[in-house]
Copies of this chain bind each other. A is one copy, B any other.
């Protein structure tokens, strides 16, 4: 593969940062990869895993002379990272991020960005419920979307270079404005995570059903939610705090719809219930057709007999 950037700085080395590190190494996309993260323990682990070429506790030092800087931190830490790196950016450096909220990240970072650098906000829609530098793996971004929300007047060459980088990782790149991104993600990602966290919390608090019963019988639906509810709590707290308006709008709609359904259950209105339950099937079918999930029943989880030859 061809070197795309002489030096890449990875700021933050969790699931996303470490997956990027794996891919950059595997595909030979940089001559030099510098890794930085706030926690000394995590930085040490990144070094043990040989995720980069150099390791530093200073974001400013990591960013110095880097051609591409990728910020992969909880979105609430975006401003402090921007402050730290701003002074050491070299002319023409591309700064991007992977945050799940875009308007807030732009508001936090953009004011600090010097005119000599190119700031291009981005968001790869990829991940798992695992977190930390051990959670990353090569190929995480393959076949997944990466959404850019470029600011007006962004340099076309820089944009093209960053797009080409993500495409080399196997991603499909889309562009939209940050406000729309935040609305779309509020429904396809943020609300599902919040609902999952919430239902797992509700189950955890019951008096009439024990926690061991919840766990024992979880395969009948509940476990599907526990996967999302096992995601990184810091990352998701920050998402809630930094995409507040869109999330509150989606939550209000969700609660309104749930009240309607609850009322139909209370009054035995089978037709209303059936109408909803029947309509939602279609969406699943479209998602499978769009290649966004596998059609294998039960997420393709191995069933007992499948394991046997």
Contacts and interface: CB of A to CB of B under 8 A. Distances in A.
Given A183-B208, A227-B284, A240-B265, 6 more contacts: A184-B217, A188-B218, A202-B254, A204-B280, A215-B287, A248-B262
Interface residues of A, number: 114
B139 A303 contact: yes
A257 B205 contact: yes
Contacts of A30: none
B216 A283 contact: no
- What's the number of copies of this chain in the assembled complex? 2
A209 to B, nearest CB: 5
A222 B283 CA distance: 11
A77 interface: no
A195 to B, nearest CB: 6
B198 A261 contact: yes
Contacts of A224: 192, 196, 224-225, 227-228
A228 B218 CA distance: 13
A266 B209 CA distance: 31
Contacts of A183: 208-209
B220 A241 contact: no
Interface of A: 125-130, 135, 137-140, 142-145, 147, 170, 180, 183-185, 187-206, 208-209, 211, 213-231, 233-234, 236-237, 240-241, 244, 247-248, 250-251, 253-255, 257-259, 261-262, 264-266, 268, 270, 273-274, 276-281, 283-287, 290, 292-294, 297-306
B188 A214 contact: yes
B222 A187 contact: yes
Contacts of A226: 280, 283-284, 287, 293
**Most-contacted residue by chain B among A126, A201, A261 (CB, 10 A):** A201
A283 B215 contact: yes
